[in-house]
Structure formats: structure tokens, C-alpha cells
Amino acid sequence: MIVEIIINTNVKTLNKTFDYNVPDDLEPKLGDRVYVHFGNQKKLDEGIIIGFKDKSEYKLKDIVKIQKDNISENRIKLAQWMSNRYFCNLSECLKLMLPPGTGNKEESKRIKEKTLNVYSLSKTIAEIETDIENKLIRGNKQIDVLRLLYDNQSMSLQDIEIMAKASSTTVKTLVEKGYLKQSEKQIERNPFQEKEIQKTNELRLNIEQQDAYYRINEPGEYLLYGITGSGKTEIYLQLIKRELEKGKTAIVLVPEISLTPQTIERFTSRFGKEKIAVLHSKLSNGERFDQWNKIKEGKAQIVIGARSAIFAPIKNLGIIIIDEEHDSSYQSESTPQYDALEIARKIANEENIKLVLGSATPDTRTYKNALEGKIALIELTKRANNAKLPEVEIVDLRDELSNGNHNMISEKLKNEIQRNLENKNQTILFLNRRGFSNFIMCKTCGNVIKCKRCDISMTYHKDEHKLKCHYCGLEEQVPNKCPNCGSKELKYSGAGTQKLEEEVHKLFPKASTIRMDIDTVTKKHSHEDILTKFKENKIDILIGTQMIVKGHDFPKVTLVGVISADNALNIGDYRASEITFQVLTQVAGRAGRGEQNGKVIIQTYNPDHYAIECAKEQDFKKFYQIESKIRKTLKYPPFCDIIVLDFSSLSRQEIQRDTKKLHQYLKNRIINEKFRSIIIFTIAMSCGKDK
């Protein structure tokens, strides 16, 4: 037998199959991981079997060893599709289908199953009792240990020592006498192990929720567009329950930033810990490995995770749910650079199952597809508990400056925080620095210096003291005054959450505050600890970045303050307005989710910007109408596709030469193909000092 193997490597020239002979004592299956001698190397390389053949034109080596983990035929086909779709090595795609921590070439460094030494009886209870009567077992501790194991099939040494109050010497003696035997027991590294879960019952659906539940009844793609607090999660839970009753399974994708303990608890409290597996980056390698095996062995019927969970080896899939489908974290920026939504769509089509995309602020491409009838559109227009949407008020920071207030917190927001503290309610202060690019903004008129070609904010490069557009490559000198109003009051960047925390301490010294950003959640469980304190009303003011606005439901939060709406508005991306609207809508949705009404204060230098006005009105449809017209005029997605080709070299001259060649080639090819509406720019990216 001859097998076709993909070698587990990132080398581009090895993106092809290699033939190997199968020794008679081995029985490989499609998708098996195998060890082989590749090339002239003495060490073993890992490969994956993706095909079989009867003969080969080459002199073949034997495969040396087979691993028990294998990739299903469906997943192999998916990896092959991904390799073609995303222009990457097949081995890179196949790695996504393997258990976490098994990609190392050195077997000694691979993650393995965790085991525990346990002890059990090697004789029957009757035989042991006879020996006790005949005084063959004399020690009281030995008798205590044996009788302890009458009711327990096996126990660890530690448990025996605690419960029988016996020593390890006693246990060792019983093993030597043949009364006990030692064996290894596999231990699951369970992230829920220490978490107490209280069972919850399903909630009664309102009319809109019921309509959504019954409409999502056939295989196909659905957009569940519902305002914040409209009860999308409860619909997810009841859809999953219906699939489980049919003997099916489910995958639920959530943005990494939303994978909070609170989010996971909503599912475990409904279905129990045993049925659920979780896959995300906060787990240890061992926990991820065991969760993966739990899925593969069919012990988990529901998989909850970030984008990579879409590759989980779950069988008999009935539904895929993607919450916050608009979130950019579903797109991988590392190799292979895949889109989890596209992968989910491919799986749903191939396996003829349901795909549900949920969002309060759908991606423009998704919503356009829904309006065109390519996917089913289901709307939730009311909050599930009949609560009102929060009142949103805009504060013009230009007025604050003219009144002499140079603090990060406006007078209006300061007064509202003080009132909230007096009423024993909680406040969230949001300042998003994630993905932030420096930009130059006029403090007087709020104008941001943008590219003349692309209408996107230009990025300030401090090392060259220049403004650059990262889309078309246009470079300009930094102006010494605002080109719009002539003011010399130019601002280069914004402040972060740490500075905001200091200011809050000064303004409200008696308030208990806590900051939640990437710097404060580095330790395991630190994320959970902060949220638990806030949920238990031990914290008055929660300060943080985007991680505080998703996946949370705090009934006591009645005030949300957005410190600078302009951060997201000026990130140097054609999606800046869309991201701004999405973030503001999401953060506003944290207020007033309990019995009391909520209030949101948005601070901005651009109060008249349509993204901010639409966020104030909580009007997605109005925003989409304005944004889609602009995108269509400027030929931005979803009315076109943008492809980025990256070149890297130690020589700037080499880069310029090669990119010009490619530019000319593509330009000629496009003209020949009559695609005259496509515009090509070469973009000069800055290099570090050592490049």
C-alpha cells in the first residue's frame, strides 16, 4: 500500500504530496498523522495522509509510526479548499484540524494525556475478608485501606491517605502482598472543574423571539439582527436545545474578547458542564488538548469558542451560531489568514445545516446580502424584558475646551457619575485603544487630516515626521496649522485607560474603581475576578477598553461614559465609521439592562458625524443607508473586494522595483481583461531602522 503524505512544514516549496510505502504491520487510515524520514534527515518529520494509491514512480521510504489522532475526510476537503482560497500551504490548514499542542516535530515536547496513579483491589472482597479472619492481614491501617476500596473502584494515593489516615508505606505493603494493584487513570484538565454551576431554566420567549425561533427551522443561513438586550442569547440556547433533542450537536462562535466566564456560564447553567467543551486562548495547552479530545470522543455536544473552534472535530453537527458576526476577530491575521464566517458558511453548505449570524450591528456585507435575499433576515426590535433603550447624550469636547476644561472627563459626565454614586448605582467608563493609530486632529474645529485620494485619516510617522496614507501611499508634510480653520491647536494622539483611571481617582477619591484592559488581565482568572467583583456590586466604576462592553449583563449599571468616540472614528481604515457605530452601539447597550433606566454620555469632537448621530439614535438602518452610499461612491466593500499583497525585504530599493513590476503586470492584465473599474495603488510601508 502506498500513501500520499503532506509534510507538516511551512516551506512553500513543499506544498505538495510525497509518496511513502506502508509496512505490512501498519494499517493507516485517511487523515492519520504519521512519522516519516523526509529527505536526508535522521530525525522524524510529521506528515498527514491525504490519499492512497496503488503504485508510484519513485523509490519509496516506509512510514515509521502512526499516531492515533486522525483528521476526517470532510476536514481534509475543507483544508484543501482553504489552501486554494487563502493562498497558503495545505499543511498550515491541516494543522488547524489537529489537537492543540500537537504540532511540534519533537515528540518529547508534545502535549500528552494527563494521568494519575490510582490503586484498586486485586482480590475479591470475600477473599480479603477471609484473609482478615485468618489473621493474614494484621495491621488495622491495612484493613482500613482495603475496606475503603470496597465502595470505591479506584482511588489516588492522596485520597487514600486522607480518608483512611494511612501512609504511603501501608499502601506499598498491600501492593507487595498482592491485595492492591496500581494503574494509570486519565484525568481531564477541565476549565470548569472548580466552578460551581447553578442550573437555570429556559425563559419564556416574547412574540418576536418566538417568531425567530420557529423561522430558523430549516438548513440555511440566517441573520438574526436584534438590538442590544433583545434576547438573542436565549434564542441561541433554545435553538441548541432543539438540535440536541434531535441527536445533533452545535458550535457557538463568540469573539475572543466576549468569551468571558459570564458568557460560558449562560450555556453551562442551561446544559450542564458535561455536554460543553470550550476552546479559547485563555486555556492552558493541556486544557485545550483535553477539551479537543472531549469533542472528538463525542463526550461534548456543544462547542463554545473563538474563531478556531470552527475546526473542532465535532460529529453530527446540526447548527453553527456566530454571535457578534460583525466582529473583526473572526478574521485571522496570522497564517493561514482565514475568515471564520467563510469557513462556517462552507461547512454549513457542505453538511446541509443551519448557520445563524447574530448581531445588533451587522457587518455591511452581511446586511447587504440579507437585503438582497441571499440570506434570511430576522429582526428583533424590542428588548426582551420590555426595558427601554438607554437615553444617549452627546457632549461636544470643543465646548469643554473653550470653557477651560482640559480633563478627560467632561463636566456633564462628571456630574452624572457623582449622581450615580449617590444613588448607589454602577458606572462603566469606556476608552478604546485597541487597534489605535496616531492621527492629527484640530482641537478647535475637530477636523482630522485625511488623505486627499481616499478620504481616510492619515497616519503620523514620528520617525520621519510625515503623514502617510496606508491605502494609496500618499505622503505629506505635517502641517503647523489646521488646513480647515487655520488653528494651531493640533492634537497628535489620545490618552489611555491608565491616565483615565488616575483622573477618576482624583475626581472621586471615595469611589471604588477598577481598570480592565490588556495590562490588568494577564494572569489566569484575573479577567473573571474583575467581572465577579463588579457583578457583586463591590466596584462603583469599571474603566476599560472594548473587553468590558461585550458579553456582559450588569443590572446595576445605569451609566456608561464614552471618553472619546473619535478614537475609533480615526483609525485609518475605510471601515472607521462602521467600527465607530458598532462600538458605540455595543457600549451603549450595557446601560439600563436591569429594572432602572440607563443613560449614556458620548464625548466627541465630531458631534455631527453621522456614525455618532446614528449611534445616539440607536438606528442601524439609517447608518447603513448613509454608509452604503459612501462606500458605493468610493468603490469600497461590500461593492468591491480589496486584496492586499505584502512584500518584505531588507532592501527598500528591491521592494520598490518588485512592486512596480507587479503593479505594471496587474495593470496590463486588468486592461486586457477589461476590468476598467479596478484601481491599483502601490503602498510604501515604513521600515524599521534595521531594515
216 and 342, same domain (yes or no): yes
Q: What is the rounded CA–CA span in Å between residue 211 and residue 316?
A: 26
121 and 101, same domain (yes or no): no
Alpha carbon of 3 to those of 32, 148, 361: distances in Å?
10, 53, 48
Q: 417 in a domain, yes or no?
A: yes
Where residue 542 sits, what CATH number does that domain have? 3.40.50.300
The per-residue DSSP string of 521-578 comes to --STTHHHHHHHHHHTT--SEEEESGGGSSS---TTEEEEEES-THHHHTSSSTTHHH
Q: Three cell numbers at 254?
A: 463568540
Q: 156 in a domain, yes or no?
A: yes
Q: 193 in a domain, yes or no?
A: no
pLDDT at 76: 95
User: Which of residues 64, 89, 109 is at a domain's end?
Assistant: 109
What domain count does the chain have? 5
| 3-state SS class at 406 | coil
Residue 432 near residue 527 (C-beta atoms within 8 A): no
Residue 353 φ then ψ, to 5°: -125, 180
Domain that holds residue 675: 643-691
Q: How buried is 169 (Cβ within 10 angstroms: 0-12 exposed, 13-18 middle, 19+ buried)?
A: exposed
Residue 364 near residue 294 (C-beta atoms within 8 A): no
User: Which of residues 380, 408, 428 is at a domain's end?
Assistant: 380
| 3-state SS class at 199 | coil
Q: 283 in a domain, yes or no?
A: yes
Residue 425 near residue 596 (C-beta atoms within 8 A): yes
Nearest to 86 by CA among 638, 643, 639: 643
Backbone region of residue 165 per phi and psi (left: phi > 0; alpha: psi in -120 to 50; beta: other values): left
50 and 157, same domain (yes or no): no
Alpha carbon of 442 to those of 6, 185, 219, 446: distances in Å?
56, 66, 52, 5
101 and 119, same domain (yes or no): no
Q: How buried is 122 (Cβ within 10 angstroms: 0-12 exposed, 13-18 middle, 19+ buried)?
A: middle
Nearest to 89 by CA among 308, 333, 338: 338
255 and 305, same domain (yes or no): yes
Distance of CA 258 to the CA centre of its chain: 7
418 and 271, same domain (yes or no): no
Residue 612 near residue 394 (C-beta atoms within 8 A): yes
Residue 500 near residue 603 (C-beta atoms within 8 A): no
302 and 372, same domain (yes or no): yes
Nearest to 107 by CA among 64, 75, 76: 64
366 and 224, same domain (yes or no): yes
Where residue 96 sits, what CATH number does that domain have? 3.40.1440.60
Q: 467 in a domain, yes or no?
A: no
pLDDT at 644: 76
pLDDT at 26: 92
Residue 608 φ then ψ, to 5°: -95, 0
Q: 635 in a domain, yes or no?
A: no
535 and 587, same domain (yes or no): yes
Q: Three cell numbers at 602?
A: 458620548
User: Which of residues 109, 136, 170 is at a domain's end?
Assistant: 109
pLDDT in tens, 366-375: 999 999 999 9
Residue 585 near residue 361 (C-beta atoms within 8 A): yes
60 and 145, same domain (yes or no): no
Nearest to 226 by CA among 237, 236, 218: 236
Work out the number of other CB atoms within 10 angstroms of the CB of residue 641. Answer: 7
507 and 607, same domain (yes or no): yes
Q: What is the rounded CA–CA span in Å between residue 31 and residue 5?
A: 9
Q: 665 in a domain, yes or no?
A: yes
Q: At what angle do helices 261-271 and 232-245 cross, to 10 degrees?
A: 40
Q: Mean pLDDT of residues grouped by 10 in the chain (691 residues)?
A: 89 85 92 90 88 91 86 94 93 89 54 78 91 87 90 85 89 91 79 71 93 97 94 96 97 82 85 90 82 92 95 96 94 91 98 97 97 97 83 94 90 96 94 57 87 78 73 84 91 70 93 85 76 89 84 82 86 88 89 82 95 94 97 91 78 85 80 54 45 33
Q: 183 in a domain, yes or no?
A: yes
99 and 125, same domain (yes or no): no
